[in-house]
Amino acid sequence: MIKTQEFFWWKLESVFFKELEESLIWRLETLGIKSFSIEELPNNSSDQKLVIWLPSNEWSVSDRASLESSLCLLVEVFEKKLLDFDWEKIIDEDWSSSWKKMWRPDPIGEKLLVLPSWLKLPELYSQRIILHLDPGSAFGTGSHPTTRLCLEALERYPPTGKIVADIGCGSGILGIAALALGAKSVKAVDLDPLAVKATYENALKNNLNEKQLMVSEGSIDLLEEQMHFQKFDLLLCNILSHVIKRLAPDFAKITSQECHIVLSGLLVDQVEDITKTLSLFNWELVASHECENWALIYLCKHTPKKSSYR
């Protein structure tokens, strides 16, 4: 009898220069790698740790060597030091516990706490608003600076009573936070079916139903179909700048006259360009906020003053 080859996970860890984050994420996405995380290093402001999980039945020795070469080539383009790679076998039955060890309760702003469902609520954070979230392959666990900026913006500009759209919802954390901070309802969309699944599951973990948070696979055109003559009061969009620029002409189709937009996923040096682009479609900058090399902009609709004639 032929014994089936044992399944396990390859866990790859590598420390990299922080400025490479966006490019590394792009490279991993182009390679079809979904299960990875980027972690802050204690007392280290210049480096971060990349952790990737690869199924053993899909990644041979040559495939893993090719992945190393691909990442090293990317680093060389930026004239940074080469990466060191640390590979570890994670047996399938140990996968869950190994994967969960790195997550901790994560306080954000003055009111919010991101809490993985398997952890108990520490007494220290008992007065905070709890966002139950299980990290998965979709982005948006709250650890990335752009996600933190968005959560802090929702706290700073409470969405009380607003109908909210979340484009590129990832794990659903922004929609869940918006509801926790007083939003009336949220419609979330993402082109990645894994993100849709993650948002749906995280909504259930926070005792939210589909009337409160509806998630669908799609983009802004689908939101337009789902509006039913009721436009959005707040638009959340935490995605890369070139995608925001592509979507900008259609924002007006789904937003009310009093709508505000929270845009992140931007590098600090992209803010001026994005703000100019949005101004072409009558969006006016209200405020901007920065975290490390990332930025968020908060905008409202600009209504041109009507001329009066005697």
**pLDDT of 77:** 67
Separation CA 115–CA 104 (nearest Å): 7
**pLDDT of 282:** 95
**pLDDT of 68:** 87
pTM of the model: 0.72
User: Coil, helix or strand for 281?
Assistant: coil
Q: Give the model confidence (pLDDT) of 290-299 as tens digits.
A: 988 899 999 9
Q: Are 81 and 46 contacting, i.e. CB atoms less than 8 angstroms apart?
A: no
Partners of 254 in the beta sheet? none
- The residue extents of the domains of the chain are 9-100, 106-301
What does the DSSP 8-state code read for residue 74?
H
Separation CA 122–CA 272 (nearest Å): 41
The number of residues making up the chain comes to 310
- Checking if the pLDDT of 288 tops 60, the result is yes
Separation CA 201–CA 208 (nearest Å): 10
Q: Give the model confidence (pLDDT) of 6-44 as tens digits.
A: 778 899 999 888 778 877 887 786 676 777 888 877 776
Q: Give the model confidence (pLDDT) of 71-118 as tens digits.
A: 887 777 666 666 789 999 887 655 555 556 667 788 999 999 999 878
Tell me what the mean pLDDT of segment 160-166 comes to. 97
**pLDDT of 80:** 65
- Which CATH number, 3.20.20.140, 3.30.70.120, 3.30.200.20, 1.10.3720.10, labels domain 9-100? 3.30.70.120
**pLDDT of 28:** 80
Closest Cα partner for 222 from 166, 271, 179, 296? 166
Domain 106-301: CATH superfamily is: Vaccinia Virus protein VP39 (3.40.50.150)
Mean pLDDT of the chain: 85
Q: Give the model confidence (pLDDT) of 34-47 as tens digits.
A: 778 888 777 767 78
When mean pLDDT is compared across 134-138, 250-254, 284-288, the lowest value belongs to 134-138
Going along the chain, which residue ranges are E strands?
8-17, 36-40, 47-55, 86-91, 106-108, 112-115, 129-132, 163-167, 185-190, 213-217, 232-238, 255-267, 283-291, 294-301
Asked if the domains 9-100 and 106-301 are classified in one and the same CATH topology, the answer is no
Question: Tokens 């972690």 identify what position?
Answer: 39
- Class of residue 79 by CB neighbours under 10 A (exposed 0-12, middle 13-18, buried 19+): exposed
Q: Give the model confidence (pLDDT) of 237-272 as tens digits.
A: 998 888 899 999 999 999 999 999 999 989 999 999
With residue 277 as reference, give the H or E element that holds it. helix 271-279
